[in-house]
Structure 1
Amino acid sequence: MRGLILGALVLPLALVGCSPAAVTSEAPMQSADASACAARGGEMKQVGRLQSWQCVIRYADAGKRCTDGDQCQGDCRVEGNSGLTPGAAVTGVCQATSDRFGCHTPVEDGRAGATLCID
């Protein structure tokens, strides 16, 4: 009986190292994914809290002043946890890369949206 109980406790601990998050974040990128990303002008990077591999593309208009996302390759935004009141008049900048993680306030029609923080 003790062996059965001990086995029930040890097995889950042994399997923790095999969780999908652990395998995904450390697994080498498949060359097809990396090649497709490079063809789009991107670079494979580990991003977010889970450090998942994603193709991150740098936008040519990064940092350009804007008042709406239609003026940018990516989004028009105020970077960081700005504390801006949604609806406030604001000028943003075009986002630098396609990496969606971190905090930012989207800008549409010259107005601040709700600040988003994405892990």
Structure 2
Amino acid sequence: MLIIFINGCAATNENSIDESMIELRRDALSKIDVLACLDKGGVIQSVCKFGMPSCVVKYMDAGKTCSDNSECAGECRIEDEFVEVGTRTTGFCSVDSDPCGCFQLITNGKAEHAVCAD
């Protein structure tokens, strides 16, 4: 009987977590100006681990070699093989405005700390 009680609690807890995530997503979506997103050429899509809605804009200069964010519509970054912080290097302009993933920003031709955003 104790096992049934624990399983019942786990199911109830999972349901409340699911309901909380649905409410968080709904709240995030209500704060997005959909028309402004579309005007920028963006699309509303789920991002990151929890699938939060966000306006994601693709950048025309995606993949262009860069040494600073000022050279890109988005960010100048390394996404694959990170280098030591402060190393002089180049990166590539980001593909879109999706804030999630692991990357290392390049500023003034130097690598910053790697960041993983989820």
Q: Same fold (TM over 0.5)?
A: yes
Residue in 1 that maps onto 2:57: 57
Residue in 2 that maps onto 1:88: 87
Give runs of aligned pairs for residues 67-86 of structure 1, distance below 5 A: 67-80=67-80, 82-86=81-85
Q: Structure 1-normalised TM-score?
A: 0.76
Instruction: Report deviation, 1:40.
Output: 1.4
What secondary structure is seen at the aligned counterpart in 2 of 1:90? Answer: coil
What does the per-residue CA deviation read over 1:21-69, in whole Å, with 9 as the maximum and x for residues that have no partner?
1344479x66x84333111110111000110000000111111100111
CA distance in 1 between counterparts of 2:100 and 2:58 reads 14
CA distance in 2 between counterparts of 1:53 and 1:17 reads 17
Partners of 1:90 and 1:111 within 8 A in 2: yes
- Residue 112 of structure 1 pairs with residue 111 of structure 2: yes
Percent sequence identity over aligned pairs: 30
Kindly provide the amino acid, as one letter, of the partner of residue 16 in structure 1: S
For the aligned residue pairs, the C-alpha RMSD in angstroms reads 2.6
CA distance in 1 between counterparts of 2:70 and 2:85 reads 19
Residue in 2 that maps onto 1:3: none
Kindly provide the amino acid, as one letter, of the partner of residue 49 in structure 1: K
Kindly provide the amino acid, as one letter, of the partner of residue 90 in structure 1: T
Q: Structure 2-normalised TM-score?
A: 0.77
- Residue 13 of structure 1 pairs with residue 12 of structure 2: yes
Residue in 1 that maps onto 2:43: 43
Structure exhibiting the larger radius of gyration computed from Cα positions? 1
Residue in 2 that maps onto 1:66: 66
CA distance in 1 between counterparts of 2:54 and 2:97 reads 10
CA distance in 1 between counterparts of 2:24 and 2:33 reads 14
CA distance in 1 between counterparts of 2:17 and 2:87 reads 47
Q: How many residue pairs align between the two structures? A: 108
